[in-house]
Amino acid sequence: MPRPVRDGPWSPGAYLTYSSERTQPFTDLLNRTGATEPKYIVDLGCGPGNGMAALRQRWPDAQILGVDSSADMLERARQSTEGDSGIEYQHMDIRTLELEHKADLIVSNAALQWIPEHRGLLPHVQRQLAPSGILAVQIPGNFAEPSHRLLAEFAAQEPYREHIDPASMLQRTAEVSDYMHDVAGPSWHVEGWETTYHHVLQGENPVYDWVAAAAARPVLRGLPEKLREQFTAEYKEALRQAYPRTDLGTILRFRRLFFIARSTQ
């Protein structure tokens, strides 16, 4: 059985600590879709539903389906959109996606990178679109930054590495041009771009809090409690040095990759 996109319990509260910063790339993606009045929208990897408000504000009459493999995330999402009969949720691994109705717009914000073989899934996702449908995707491209580089370096060291399955860690994503080729074809119009955000975070260990809620999660879950405490202390200290606090707060550089494929059929 394939490993779920979001394996094991997630903490929606921790993930939403920086909700506005995590949602901004989604808003920027929606601004570029070119969709006018989509009747049926699917959000792949909808998480705790932090993008639903942006979808509903932009397309108030659309039917929206949120898909995620984390029951905890979906429960939080249902609570956040309670009372909106036009929004439904489905507990599903993106790899087994089969829509009952073809979608006019499929969006995915920072979710596909959790699937090692996500590039090979893109044509299947495109087949779930209606004629003239649009696929719009954002994924992180931040793996060369200290937040991710230090995580990989610490995870590869003793005494941690024997407890961590390398396959469970996020793998480096491809480049924008690679994804554009993945979704290109005779009946598709494709575009792509990247943006590096400079988030100003507050708190004692804000970069650790950010990464621990997402990219570092598989590493932290794999470690026994005592080693997890040791790993956390060392990783936090390294992050504090890599991301010093300033008068503004702690500035986190975060590179995001975007690509859109529009069916011309």
Quote the CA–CA distance of 17 and 14 in Å, as a whole number: 5
Measured in degrees and rounded to the nearest 5, phi and psi for residue 224 equal -60, 160
What is residue 134's predicted lDDT score, i.e. its pLDDT?
Answer: 98
* Average pLDDT by stretches of 10, the chain with 265 residues: 40 55 92 96 94 95 96 92 96 92 96 93 97 97 95 94 84 95 96 97 94 90 94 97 97 97 94
Q: Which residues of 178-201 are buried (b: 16+ CB within 10 A; e: fewer)?
A: ebbebbeeeebebebeeeeeebeb
What is residue 4's predicted lDDT score, i.e. its pLDDT?
Answer: 37
- Largest pairwise CA distance in the chain: 57
In Å, how far are 164, 193, 202, 255 from 123, measured between CA atoms?
Answer: 32, 20, 40, 25
What is residue 15's predicted lDDT score, i.e. its pLDDT?
Answer: 41
Short-list 110, 134, 133, CA closest to 48: 110
CATH superfamily, region 12-141+171-201+251-263: Vaccinia Virus protein VP39 (3.40.50.150)
Q: What stretches of 172-224 show up as alpha helix (H) in DSSP?
A: 176-183, 206-212, 217-222
What is residue 229's predicted lDDT score, i.e. its pLDDT?
Answer: 96
